[in-house]
Amino acid sequence: MRRVRDLRWAGLIAFVAALAVGLFVGLVVHLLLGGRIGWEDFDLPGLVEGFFFLVAFVLSLFVAKRAVRVPCSTLLTAGAVAPWPARRLAEPVPLVASPAEGSGRWAVLVEDGRPVGVLGLGSEIVPWEEAPVVGREVAITELAPLFWQGEAVFVADGTRVHGVITRERYLRAVVS
């Protein structure tokens, strides 16, 4: 799972690569059409050069988006806008010592301060190793495959549990 920082870098690199391709194509067209340096007047060769730059830039952005799999907003802003980290979307979840204490919908069963299981994912206790758990800096756009398998994802780093993200909360955040 990629972190927000990874998506920012991927968006920046993809944008710069697309810009470089567009500029290179524009330079080639410029040299093929006479190669005058400078902006003296508004003429057809300048329009053709600009058109080819724009087409090359947009097509290379499309290819780069498919290659690095980042959200459009991250790609078009060169990484300035990125999805939220999972910790920002996580709701607190109670930590319980025995299954009888789990009164809410979700709970994490702890033993000696370490999470050992999850209550609420099914009719039984799901072992912590089998539960859908991500780190707190994972981008929320990376969580979609986990929601295909279950209705909640737990956010934790090591033995520290930050909370739970439900499918409903995830969809509200992604859509808004």
- Same domain flag for 66 and 109: no
Helix (H, G, I), strand (E, B) or coil at 142: helix
pLDDT of residue 48: 87
- Same domain flag for 27 and 66: yes
For residues 95 and 107, what is the distance between their CA atoms, to the nearest angstrom? 6
Residue 18 has pLDDT above 70, yes or no: yes
Helix (H, G, I), strand (E, B) or coil at 135: coil
Q: Residue type at 118?
A: V
Q: Is residue 31 part of a domain?
A: yes
Looking from the CA of 128 toward its CB, the CA atoms found within 13 Å total 17
Burial 128-165 (b: 16+ CB within 10 A, else e): beebbbbebbbbbbbbeebbeeeebbbbbeeeebbbbb
For residues 139 and 82, what is the distance between their CA atoms, to the nearest angstrom? 8
- Same domain flag for 71 and 92: no
Domain of residue 132, residue span: 86-175
pLDDT of residue 41: 67
Average pLDDT over residues 38-60: 84
Looking from the CA of 27 toward its CB, the CA atoms found within 13 Å total 6
In CATH, what number is assigned to the domain containing residue 151?
3.10.580.10
- Same domain flag for 20 and 58: yes
For residues 34 and 64, what is the distance between their CA atoms, to the nearest angstrom? 31
Residue 12 has pLDDT above 80, yes or no: yes
Residue 36 has pLDDT above 80, yes or no: no
Tell me how many domains the chain contains.
2
Residue 37 has pLDDT above 70, yes or no: no
Average pLDDT over residues 14-38: 89
Residue 102 pLDDT grade (very low, low, confident, very high; cuts 50, 70, 90):
low
- Same domain flag for 153 and 92: yes
**CA distances (Å), origin 126, targets 13, 108, 121, 140, 169:** 40, 10, 7, 23, 21
DSSP class of residue 111 equals E
Kindly report the average pLDDT of the chain as a whole number.
Answer: 88
Q: Is residue 111 part of a domain?
A: yes
Strands (E), the chain: 95-96, 107-111, 114-119, 126-127, 133-134, 152-157, 160-166
Average pLDDT over residues 136-146: 91
Helix (H, G, I), strand (E, B) or coil at 160: strand
- Same domain flag for 106 and 168: yes
Residue at a domain's end among 19, 52, 76: 76
